[in-house]
Structure 1
Amino acid sequence: MSLRTGLAGLTGPQRFLLAGSFLIPLGSYAVLPFMSVLLHERLGMGLGTVGIVLATASLVQFSGGVVGGAVADRIGLRHTMVLALVIRTAGFAAFLPGLTHTAAAVAALFLVSCGAALYLPANKAYLVHSADASQRPLLLSTSGSALNAGIALGPLAAAPFVLDSSAGLFAAVTALFAAVTAGHALLPAESPAAAAGPPAAEPGATAPKTTVPVARRLGDRLLGPGALPFGITVLSLYVFMFFQHYLALYAVPRTSTAYYSLVLALYALLLVVAQPLVSDRVARLPYGHVLRLGFAAMATGMAALALGGHLAILVGSLLICCAETTLFLKNDLEALARSTRSPAVVFGRQRLAAGIGAFLSGTAGGGGYEMAERSGHTGLFWAAVALQCVALPPLLIATLRRMRSAHCARAARHPAATAATGRTGGNNSADTGV
């Protein structure tokens, strides 16, 4: 399917959601990147406390995706999106009193984070719920492009107003979210079967009476077909967030603020343009090929950053952008294809995986960068990340394969329990390897 043909075939609700995928991050990132300024400089909060507040809010936003998926399964995709946007609108409105009251600002930040946790799994699930498998790559990649465009433009649009006209900025963002919420309320409700997970048992069917041990049920859940895309998403975000968190500290002293801004602009442009263009090809490639290409690009990009010159920083950043374009999309598509759960639950789990990866990166990165800086060879930090991009993917895959094999061997010794869970004892290499 060509890009033009695919875009021409979008439904009205899909077009609206793609527009919302731009407007929502545009409004959010007009405010959120300046939270440290608001909390520290305007409200006098200590930097250590600011870091804890922002890290906790990020963790809520990512890990809460699991709750968002469960809520969407219970009350429906459209209702969940509207509820989430009502919460986010209330959060941005609460920033108005938060300009002078610390507690109100912190509460507003957590309302916005909770709303995002609820919204994103339902949004992606609604976007693809009426689409066939061939349309999903284009829809998800175009949504990602719109989101990244909003993220890139939001801070630029807000920068002239955030310090001198903060109240007006927060009021404008609140009005934008109120309008987007009203638009979501007018979307048609998805059909009950459209976003459902596995089919229910036929009437009169009797489930086996075998009791399955808790550890066995947990193993089936953690080591099932979705284990690999979940684990790869954790790993992808883990290595990628080193780049997100520490490139500015590394690049600006070696180049300039203007050059760093140019690199970010080119990165955003490539990401926005390339994602829809390569989505169909990424979807057709085997998962193993995408993993090898994606992590190779990530490793090469990190190694280029270690050289530290103007060209090396530009080339390294663009290689990492290519890795982001392929890996993140393929992980979502693979998680959808392997799961029998509803899309909202799948996307919620993927958000959790991303949150775990980002948290691990934040935990390890600060100390690692500080050690490299003290040594006088900061490029070693990027070299170490490049080595992890090479070594960790095969290690993760091999570990999952061994754990899956051991779990299946235990299952084979208890065939009655296997029947009760509806799983076989064989080792499916498609689940655990590439």
Structure 2
Amino acid sequence: MVWVLVVARAVNRIGAFTLPFLGVVLTVEFGASLSQTGLILALFGAATIPSRLLGGQLADRIGRRRTIVLGLAGCAVAQTWIAVSDQLWSAVLAALLLGLVFEIYEPPSQATIADVTEPVDRPAAYGLLGAAMAAAGVLAGLLAAALSHWGLRWLFIADALTCLACAVLVARALPADVRPTSEPTTTTTVWRDRRLLILLAGGTVFATMYMQLVIGLPLSLLEQGLPTSGTGFILAVSAVTLILAQRLLRVQRLDDFTSLTIGYALLAIGLIVSAFAETLTVYLLATVLWSLGELFLLTRYLTLASGLAPDHARGRYLAVFGLSWGIATAIAPLTVTWLLESFGPEGLWLSSAAVAVALAASQPWFRTRLAPA
């Protein structure tokens, strides 16, 4: 089942390069100002918060497979709407719809992996998912670079098609959903788990930094007069780095908090290099560094979150933890555009690096607070 989900998500990942370009599309294609673009992207991010919660509820109540298919189909509709819009107001409505369906498939996807693996094997399983998505990301980056020369709207058409392909694969290959045999706990019980809320706080800060990279890199290239196709090459280099590092670095042998500390240190170094980058070559060097940090960070947060959850509420636990990404997607556009307008790329990336250093230093505190009661 893990392999089926990994292949399906890899197919979806091949076309999932539109979010870094959404701000550029709003600015270039629809004439939105930098501040308007930041506000629209913030609204998109806010819309992903109920999307993630809905995905967790549906995953535990109607099943993983149905929820994944529903979310992917919704993304395909919204992506197509953005591509065919001819007015800014239409693109804004489409972006809001995309936010409302964007995270539905994440909780059931993550819960499915946790359902069929033992706790000790979950870092490797999530790492497999990350490696497969990185491999697909190589194609995604190159495809994005190619399609961006034809027109940025083609990126959204390609993403819509891969969403539909992923939905079909999941619907045909994943086992049928089975109704839960025990009464699930309520959402209120999930919100009373103190360790989950602490993990959510730390994950939100990390997710905000990550989304600042996703949103800020294309805008930084635009601010410095570098080609927008450079974002596609950055995505490709990031993916290649993750693939090679999966084999060279045996991160599964590290405990979760050591892995997080190393990851934040690498992320900080990459951000510092980004702060002083003036050419695409230097940005690509920075990409290698922060991508290595990403390798250490992403799978460990998922492992920690899934480990806190009881079996019958895993979808909702992962959904609540996943709110970190919705909150980050709402905050990051505002911080990115404000920092770029006020301090330029240097101020954006140096401030992010300072936060990464603080998070690396705080991991002993998180280790103590997240220890089993």
1:324 to 288, 294, 297: 294
Matched-pair contact (CA < 8 Å) for 2:65–2:171: yes
**Is 1:388 the equivalent of 2:355?**
yes
Give the aligned partner of residue 431 of structure 1: 370
Deviation at 1:395, TM superposition (A): 5.8
2:4 to 3, 16, 25: 16
State the aligned residue count. Answer: 367
**What is the Cα-based RMSD across aligned positions, in Å?**
4.1
Residue-by-residue CA offset, 1:228-276 (whole Å, 9 max, x unaligned): 3322211222334444444456678889659887655332211233347
Separation of aligned partners in 2, 1:78 and 1:147: 19
1:131 is aligned, of 104, 109, 117, to: 117
Q: Which residue identity is paired with 1:336?
A: S
The answer to whether structure 1 residue 302 and structure 2 residue 290 are counterparts is no
- Give the TM-score, by structure 2 length: 0.78
Q: How much does 1:152 deviate? A: 4.9
* Residues 138, 240 of structure 2: 8 Å contact kept: no
What SS does structure 1 have at the residue aligned with 2:195?
coil
Shift of 1:328: 1.6
3-state SS, counterpart of residue 105 of structure 2 = helix
State the match for 2:132 in structure 1.
146
Q: Secondary structure at the match of 1:64?
A: helix
Change (3 A) 1:152 1:191: same
**Displacement, 1:394?**
4.8
8 Å Cα contact 2:339/2:348 also seen in 1: yes
Deviations 1:100-126 (A, max 9, x none): 465554444333333322111112212
Q: Are the aligned partners of 1:25 and 1:154 in contact in 2 as well (CA < 8 Å)?
A: yes
Paired residue secondary structure (1:131):
coil
Choose between structure 1 and 2 for higher RCO, CA contacts under 8 A separated by at least 6 residues. Answer: 2
Superposition pairs of residues 114-125 of structure 1, within 5 angstroms: 114-125=100-111
Structure 1 unpaired stretches of 5+? 1-12, 201-216, 402-428
Cα gap change, 1:260 to 1:344, in 2 (>3 Å): closer
CA contact 1:233–1:357 (8 Å) conserved in 2:
no
Letter of the structure 2 residue corresponding to residue 431 of structure 1: L
Contact 1:145 1:276 survives alignment (8 Å): no
| 2:239 counterpart letter in structure 1 | A
Higher helix fraction (1 or 2)? 2
Q: Deviations over 1:132-172 (max 9, x none)?
A: 22432222122223334445533642555568588987666
- 1:293 is matched with 262
Name which one, 1 or 2, has greater alpha-carbon Rg. Answer: 1
| Partners of 1:289 and 1:194 in 2: CA distance | 38
Letter in 1 for 2:297: L
- Distance, in Å, in 2 between the alignment partners of 1:260 and 1:303 is 18
Q: Is the 8 A contact 1:372 1:380 kept in 2?
A: yes
Which residue number in structure 2 is paired with residue 4 of structure 1? none
Give the unaligned 5+ runs of structure 2. Answer: none
Distance 1:360 1:169 in 2: 24
Distance of 1:287 and 1:116 partners within structure 2: 28
Superposition pairs of residues 33-432 of structure 1, within 5 angstroms: 33-36=20-23, 39=26, 42=29, 48-61=35-48, 64-95=51-82, 98-100=84-86, 104-154=90-140, 156-157=142-143, 160=146, 174-186=160-172, 187-192=174-179, 221=191, 224-247=194-217, 264-275=235-246, 278=249, 281-306=250-275, 308=277, 315-340=285-310, 342-373=313-344, 379=346, 382-392=349-359, 394=361, 429-431=368-370
The TM-score normalised by the length of structure 1 is: 0.68
Alpha-carbon distance, 1:333 to partner: 0.3
| Alignment partners' CA distance in 1, 2:264 and 2:155 | 40
Between the aligned partners of 1:237 and 1:72, the Cα distance in structure 2 is 23
